[in-house]
Structure 1
Amino acid sequence: MSTRNYPELHEWLKNPRNKAYWDNDKVEVRSSKLGGLGVFAKTDITPVEDDPESGLLLRISKDAILSGPNSYISNLLYDAHIDGIFALILAFLYEKAQVKNSPWYDYIHSINFHVGSTKDDKRLMLPAALWPDEDRILLQGTDAELMGVIDPQDIEEDYSICLQFAKDNANIVKPPYELTPDENGDKTENERKYRFFAAACFAVSSRAFVIDDFHQLALVPAADLFNHDARGKEDVHFVAIAHVCPFCGRCDECGHDEYGPPDSEAEEYEVVNNDDNKDGKDYEGDDKMDDGKSDDDDNDDEKMEDDDDDQHDIDSLYIEKLDKKFKNEMRKKDKERLEDKEEDESFDVPDGYNLDEILLDPDQCCDIVLQKKVKKGDELLNTYGDLSNAILISKYGFTVKSNSNDTVCLGRQIVELRDGTDEEIVKRLDWWSQTGFSLLKEYKKEKFDMQEDESAEEPDDENSVTADDDSWLLAISIAYPRDLSLDALCLGKLLTASDVEFQKLSASNNKQAFETFVGEKIDSKGKAFLSGICQKRLSSLEGLKSPVYSQFVKGQLHDWRKHMICNILKDEKSILEKTIKHLSA
């Protein structure tokens, strides 16, 4: 993630309209050795253990985060049933197109879409799937390729969805530049729009935070300044109440849990039932009474029908009015609090607190909170998750040296065996994919006390695996630094077992016999088999044979994309070589 203009972002944070608190006394933003900008401690900071407020560095009202529901196209997104990452991408593009008319202009303008300070189209920060062929080919054979990181299909599908939204709403709101390709226009210009769309998507996905049931995903200004700690020892943590009303975002009682969304038929029915039917009669009783209406009633049928239509309209308007009243009351309260801040010069502020901080309701905010003691000059890091380099390069555009979360999948080499001519190997792999894999999942659940899936009432067995399901292949892997998965060890034993041993194991499907098989140590034949698989996996890394990797090893490589690729190649090479050495010991 890259921020090019922190001063503009800082001005955005200082604006009272944006309901944000940033502790300038404790932290500062400057260049990071990890790349781009980072957040650093200006002094020694020791948070109080039982007081999370003592470690508060950033607090932003959920009203001020950039999300689909907060954007000016929120009603269009709602009508189109678009949420999640697509809602956030579209909200970002449309708000960006508003330029200074957008309340997030300074924040959006601080985001760098290019490598370096030069706005050169050739230096756009693009997902790996749109990198030049000479770069993508270096990733062939890696887990990144296996995960589809260099396949542009997903981006193309995302673009189609966003283009359709822009087309459907073009008569209501002008589409942003990225979503205005001309079928009969210049292909180069259309390609430029597509690449700018991809760059925007990459910027959004690399900054998005999971907020709550209402906003879902959002961009949180300044929270994205904190760089990633791959070691799992984060200095700060992102905090937000996740379980809120999905219709209005409140975490307190709002009525929607009982009546549903403001425009739902359920709410209309409940309000009418409570207000207009207080004598205890239900609608079914009234309908029955209508069957025995008098002649005078017959003469007034047309008038009654008109009255019913009017009543329905009144009810709908009344519902909307109630909802608007609720929102206006909340805005009024916020306004009163701001007025109190401006007018009451004698406001008693406790020592160590900032008035802006006190006026923000923590339950309706997103926070960045310090987790441990830090020293002056330390860069404060957040953890995005236990992510491998393949995921990091795909979602965030960077890699980590000697990433402890890296894995190497051996599934592709097993597929080659399955598609081979050795009938005995094929038979055993078929049994494993259809039966053995499920038995091992059950074994691991019992052995490691894994949580059962909440779909217990489903008629299908959650552990059943069909012949067409290749998920078992992904489980045949090696974790950093050289830890073969239990699945890989079992497969090594299975494919080198004698015919008698395999027949005994496969014929009975006996749980105890299978557990005995799993618990047995792998012998020299099994180790040799797995070592050979690792050798094939290592040979598939074509990038290791390239001049680019030679430059990397010599410390002569300065291209940022190729440097990230070589980090992946180096880590996979290291994991495989250490595993081969361990199996040969």
Structure 2
Amino acid sequence: MAASLDKLQALEQWFKDNRIRYDARLIELRQVGTGYGVFAKKNLEVDQGLCIIPKDAVLSVRNCAIADTLESLEIDGVLGLAVCLMYERHMGASSPWSAYLASLPDFEPLPIFWPSSDLAELKGTDLATQVQNDLVLLQADYTAHVERFIECSGLPAEAFSYEKFLAAASLVSSRAFEVDDFHGQCMVPLADLFNHRTPTRTTPGEHVHFETDADVCMFCGTNGECWCDEVSDDGSEEEEIVDGELEGEGWVSEEEENDGEEEGDRRHQRRGRGSPSPPPLYDPEDWTRDPEEDEDFGDFDPGVDILELTVVEKCPANSEVYNTYGHHPNTHLLSHYGFTSPSNPFNTVLLPLPALLSHLAPPSLAPRLAFYTRIARRIVDKLESEHNDEEDEYDAEEELMDDLDDADAAEFLDADNTNIERDLTLTATGTASAHLRAFAHLLAVDEGTFAGFCDEPERFEGYLRQLDGDGQMKKGGKGSKKRKAGKKGVDVDRVVKDALRTIAADRLAAYPTTVEEDERVLKTLGKSTDPASLRMRHILVLRIGEKRILGRVLAK
């Protein structure tokens, strides 16, 4: 406990040294279990500003000391960030992020670290296979990229062992934020102290939301005009530069860049303009700012690009202030962050693709798989997002089906199996997701109906609009009578419903225990916080959530 408090004090001093600020009149940092959390000292009101984080304080593949090496080896994204984290940990006290790194746990207790006895308890769940797949992918990344980095960098191999790679990857998985087009995925000090809460009908998920301008120069990170506007893709200057000024009409103003762009999540209020020259990599000997230069909260130079945290939901005094990591099922929360949320309204259950194909496979499978992956999925996405663009979205696919008559189904299964399976989910209410409904009906309709979809994809969109939430034809829908014919005179709605019920029953039978047995064991765990009990609690919450979904399918 004392060591954790010492680390927290050192972290807060590091925040001050690096101009990471939070309003100490409104919030405070506290120890929560083995980690930390943020708590309200006063009632928080919507639109109050709580935190400001300069972008040069984040840790990314762009500003770590090995940035050039990573770029030359084309190691980026979350993999590159994991390598950055290993390097900065290896640097110890000489790392500019040393106090921040010291506040982090050695690793996040994700299922990839669990003993085999606990992994056996995942039998029947969606996570059981995912853990094994994750480990295979992590080993492949380490062998292909991290070992090559060790060889090229000349750094000690023991600092970049596979075990340390897994530890770093777990921290990146559970803590990284997407910052902007330049930095990409980053470790963001202070931002990662706000814990997650899953929203429900009665409880909001997040009290706060982070905002920044993500649309910066992807080459130098400048927020505004920069030299990169005048440099072509091959690095040559397209316009003459005289006395530090850009000549000609190639200069693109911020207003011109944004002209006609839709407003969305990536567009936020501008906070000043950066220098027109690319920012240099940090010098470890002269990186930390002079603490005597401290300013009032929120008083930043207009040239400093920042992340801001603002209150979006009221939070009463003495309560923990939550962020949300997204609307995720417990499978995702446990595999990426190491925890679960009881009664999670975003829980899902995957239905195995082979099981669906065994019940609904048409005579010619490959064309339907191709139609789904290349056309139908986009139609579903369009309906889900409620976009009604006037232009024809399917023109590019008009010749798609011309050469599919002799296609090999295995080709599409090999190429798109994983992507298709991700779509085949049952929701927390026990209904098929929009993608599952579309895929199941696409398999079940007769050849003539499918041919019509291929000729005019808009017909498939119209077909989907007639389905209700359970994947059945809406009463009085335009296609209700025609659909009763189905293939070979079979009721397509009934075929799809029976197939989903049968598969759900098979999934439910694959668990080693019943939902009632799991609930009894969960009660016996109480509020124990030892690691073994915590793991078992997460397993039980995961299993109970999945079983309830499957039970709702069978009860319909």
For normalisation by structure 1, the TM-score amounts to: 0.69
1:206 counterpart SS class: helix
- Residue 18 of structure 2 corresponds to residue 82 of structure 1: no
- Residue 7 of structure 2 corresponds to residue 14 of structure 1: no
1:237 counterpart SS class: strand
In 1, distance between residues paired with 2:134 and 2:446? 39
In 2, distance between residues paired with 1:199 and 1:546? 36
The answer to whether the 8 A contact 1:84-1:217 is kept is yes
Question: What is the number of residues matched between the two proteins?
Answer: 471
Mapping 1:73-472, distance limit 5 Å? 73-113=66-106, 125-145=108-128, 147=130, 151-160=134-143, 161-170=145-154, 174-175=155-156, 177-179=158-160, 193-231=161-199, 233-259=205-231, 265-267=235-237, 270=239, 355-361=296-302, 364-412=305-353, 414-415=355-356, 417=358, 425-427=361-363, 432-435=368-371, 440-441=376-377, 444=380, 447=383, 449-450=386-387, 467=409, 468=412, 469-470=416-417, 471-472=419-420
Shift in CA distance, 387/486, structure 1 to aligned 2, threshold 3 Å: closer
In 1, distance between residues paired with 2:79 and 2:236? 28
* Structure 1 position 168, deviation (Å): 0.5
Shift in CA distance, 47/247, structure 1 to aligned 2, threshold 3 Å: same
1:266 counterpart SS class: coil
- Residue 446 of structure 2 corresponds to residue 502 of structure 1: yes
2:508 counterpart SS class: helix
In 2, distance between residues paired with 1:71 and 1:11? 21
Shift in CA distance, 134/254, structure 1 to aligned 2, threshold 3 Å: same
What do the CA deviations read for 1:348-374 (whole angstroms, capped 9, x no partner)?
xxxxxx625313548511222222332
Shift in CA distance, 474/107, structure 1 to aligned 2, threshold 3 Å: closer
In 2, distance between residues paired with 1:479 and 1:76? 44
Mapping 1:36-75, distance limit 5 Å? 36-48=35-47, 55-75=48-68
1:532 is matched by which residue type in structure 2?
Answer: T
Shift in CA distance, 439/238, structure 1 to aligned 2, threshold 3 Å: closer
2:236 counterpart SS class: helix
1:370 is matched by which residue type in structure 2?
Answer: V
**Does 68-77 or 96-105 show the bigger shift?**
68-77
* Structure 1 position 60, deviation (Å): 1.9
In 1, distance between residues paired with 2:192 and 2:291? 30
Shift in CA distance, 579/130, structure 1 to aligned 2, threshold 3 Å: same
1:58 counterpart SS class: strand
* Structure 1 position 129, deviation (Å): 2.8
The answer to whether the 8 A contact 1:543-1:549 is kept is no
* Structure 1 position 242, deviation (Å): 0.8
Shift in CA distance, 369/453, structure 1 to aligned 2, threshold 3 Å: farther
Mapping 1:499-538, distance limit 5 Å? 502=446, 504-506=448-450, 508-509=452-453, 515=462, 519=467, 520-521=473-474, 526-538=496-508
The residue that corresponds to 1:561 in the other structure is 535
The answer to whether the 8 A contact 2:375-2:397 is kept is no
- Residue 18 of structure 2 corresponds to residue 24 of structure 1: no
2:307 counterpart SS class: strand
1:158 counterpart SS class: helix
In 1, distance between residues paired with 2:162 and 2:392? 41
In 2, distance between residues paired with 1:65 and 1:164? 26
The answer to whether the 8 A contact 1:403-1:571 is kept is yes
Shift in CA distance, 325/565, structure 1 to aligned 2, threshold 3 Å: closer
The answer to whether the 8 A contact 2:61-2:80 is kept is yes
In 2, distance between residues paired with 1:438 and 1:81? 29
- Residue 425 of structure 2 corresponds to residue 477 of structure 1: yes
* Structure 1 position 428, deviation (Å): 7.2
In 2, distance between residues paired with 1:389 and 1:257? 44
The answer to whether the 8 A contact 1:236-1:370 is kept is yes
In 1, distance between residues paired with 2:131 and 2:399? 26
1:139 counterpart SS class: coil
Shift in CA distance, 395/444, structure 1 to aligned 2, threshold 3 Å: closer
The residue that corresponds to 1:577 in the other structure is 551
* Structure 1 position 86, deviation (Å): 2.6
The answer to whether the 8 A contact 1:9-1:221 is kept is no
What are the ranges of 5 or more consecutive residues in structure 2 without an aligned counterpart? 249-274, 468-472, 475-491
* Structure 1 position 488, deviation (Å): 4.3
Computed over aligned residues only, the root mean square deviation of the Cα atoms, in angstroms, reads 4.2
**Does 60-69 or 376-385 show the bigger shift?**
60-69
Shift in CA distance, 127/338, structure 1 to aligned 2, threshold 3 Å: closer
The answer to whether the 8 A contact 1:137-1:543 is kept is no
**Does 228-237 or 145-154 show the bigger shift?**
145-154
The answer to whether the 8 A contact 1:159-1:197 is kept is yes
The residue that corresponds to 2:271 in the other structure is none
* Structure 1 position 89, deviation (Å): 1.6
In 1, distance between residues paired with 2:341 and 2:44? 27
Shift in CA distance, 434/47, structure 1 to aligned 2, threshold 3 Å: closer
The answer to whether the 8 A contact 1:127-1:199 is kept is no
Shift in CA distance, 202/453, structure 1 to aligned 2, threshold 3 Å: farther
* Structure 1 position 569, deviation (Å): 0.7
1:68 counterpart SS class: coil
**Percent identity for Structure 1 against Structure 2:** 28
1:40 counterpart SS class: strand
Shift in CA distance, 324/40, structure 1 to aligned 2, threshold 3 Å: closer
1:355 counterpart SS class: coil
